Structure 1
Amino acid sequence: MLEISDLQRRFDGRPVLRSVSMRLEPGEYVAITGESGVGKSTLLNLIAGLDRPDGGRLALDGADYGDLDEDSLTRLRRDKLGFVFQAFHILPHLTLRQNVVLPLWLKGRKGPQADREADRLLDAVGLADRADSWPRELSGGEMQRVAIARALVHAPRLILADEPTGNLDPSNAAKVLTLLAERIRASGAMGILVTHSPEAARSADRVLHLTPEGLSA
């Protein structure tokens, strides 16, 4: 379970998130929409433990982020979170298979079985024949699909996706949204999708709208 209560974040004294509260149950997939600059990516960074709030409470499966040091937050991200960010963060010196399998390596899972799981996810995003390719050989949409496969490969407890279909054509966007939803629901994980797209938001179980005052249905 993800619990957020009265979360606040300021930059240079200016409030970006004033009072954000939400609760996410296992198997639930939520879309967050809102105007540009309202703080959607800031909220994801706080949930990911990449930034610290100025107030409020954030807890995943009962672990309060405020009680965790940086090493503990790193372990939480490694073991329980999957990320799909707008900037991809695909490593240029690794093949596509190596990029996707990386979360398994970080958990000590190496060898043929880990490679097979990476290949299975690459196949699910339509890149089965590109496993040995290099990121420089890919389009932006293909790199986004690699990022989605990498986010799912280690069966994370919580999946965070920031505009995951922004670089995809409608056909591939529909495929990856279906994949995200199916994996979240089938595994009992939780998912948060930040998007400007009404079509993408409709893939979620419910849609929340972020404003300067907080989250609302």
Structure 2
Amino acid sequence: MNTIPILELCNISKAYASRKVLSDLSFTLAAGEYVAVMGDSGVGKSTLLNLIAGLDEADSGKIFVNGQILAAGDEVAATELRRKYFGFIFQAFHILPHLTLLQNVSLPLLLNDMPLDRTAAMLAAVGLGDRGHAFPYQLSGGELQRVAIARALVHRPRLILADEPTGNLDPDTAQEILQLIRAEVKANGASAILVTHSHAAAATADKVLTLTGNGLTETRR
């Protein structure tokens, strides 16, 4: 049995100019865990995800992904970790405008030399199965968000990072998408961190953590 945590943060601190965002934060996420992170605006929730993803660099501390250190300044290694282990659902969708929806969703599979047979199924799972040959400019904001979610999940990542993944969706569609994320986590033995202001979204996770200046604490439900 693999006992290595999928994610381990050791004494992470981050400040922007004179504003301290995260201070001496430690956190471990085991394989199969699905947690929601809540907290006030500006407390550092998105910064936390960016640090985990290697998109930003901590001022001090260490981050391990599946036992491998996310080395500061080593962009090649960080890119390899992101491609292999991560699925990103961020508020900026980053859908490539010159590619069709099918082509956008298939990118993680191509980058990992994996078969493309899950592409159409994932588009269908987010309710866009009949739009595969459409281009991003033909979609609404909510539809683009669903494309981003399909792309994040298509290669069965070990770690899913989701920053307000239902912010552009109506309540019914949001619940369907949240249940899809949960189902993918459980079916694939993955782990996930869901950053959200929505208590309804947080309720789909196994546990809810609140981020404050004192770190992460579990919220009783």
Q: TM-score range by the shorter chain?
A: over 0.9
- Structure 2 CA distance, aligned partners of 1:52 and 1:68? 8
Indicate the percent of aligned positions where both proteins have the same amino acid.
56
Q: After superposition, where does 1:88-127 map in structure 2 within 5 Å?
A: 88-109=93-114, 113-114=115-116, 116-127=117-128
Mapped pair 1:180 → 2:185: no
- Count residues in correspondence: 213
Tell whether the 8 Å contact from 1:27 to 1:186 is kept in structure 2 after alignment: no
- Structure 1 stretches of 4+ moved >4 Å: none
Q: CA deviation at 1:155?
A: 0.8
Deviation per residue, 1:126-184 (Å, 9 max, x gap): 10000001111111110000000000011111000000000000111001100101111
Q: CA deviation at 1:71?
A: 0.3
Partner amino acid for 1:27? G
- Structure 2 CA distance, aligned partners of 1:20 and 1:123? 39
Between the two structures, name the one with larger relative contact order (CA 8 Å, sep ≥ 6). Answer: 1
RMSD of aligned residue pairs (Cα, Å)? 1.2
Q: Which has the higher helix share?
A: 1
Tell whether the 8 Å contact from 2:109 to 2:154 is kept in structure 1 after alignment: yes
Map of 2:196 onto structure 1? 195
Report the 3-state secondary structure (helix = DSSP H, G, I; strand = E; otherwise coil) of the residue aligned with 1:128: coil
- Structure 1 CA distance, aligned partners of 2:151 and 2:90? 11
Tell whether the 8 Å contact from 2:70 to 2:77 is kept in structure 1 after alignment: no
Mapped pair 1:60 → 2:61: no
- Unaligned runs of at least 5 residues, structure 2: none
Q: CA deviation at 1:13?
A: 3.1
Partner amino acid for 1:44? L
Q: TM-score, normalised by structure 2?
A: 0.93
Worse-matched range after superposition: 56-65 or 82-91 = 56-65
Tell whether the 8 Å contact from 1:17 to 1:212 is kept in structure 2 after alignment: yes
Partner amino acid for 2:38? T
Worse-matched range after superposition: 62-71 or 74-83 = 62-71
Report the 3-state secondary structure (helix = DSSP H, G, I; strand = E; otherwise coil) of the residue aligned with 2:210: strand
- Structure 1 CA distance, aligned partners of 2:113 and 2:191? 24
Q: CA deviation at 1:67?
A: 6.9
- Structure 1 CA distance, aligned partners of 2:22 and 2:71? 17
Mapped pair 1:45 → 2:46: no
Report the 3-state secondary structure (helix = DSSP H, G, I; strand = E; otherwise coil) of the residue aligned with 1:27: coil
- Unaligned runs of at least 5 residues, structure 1: none
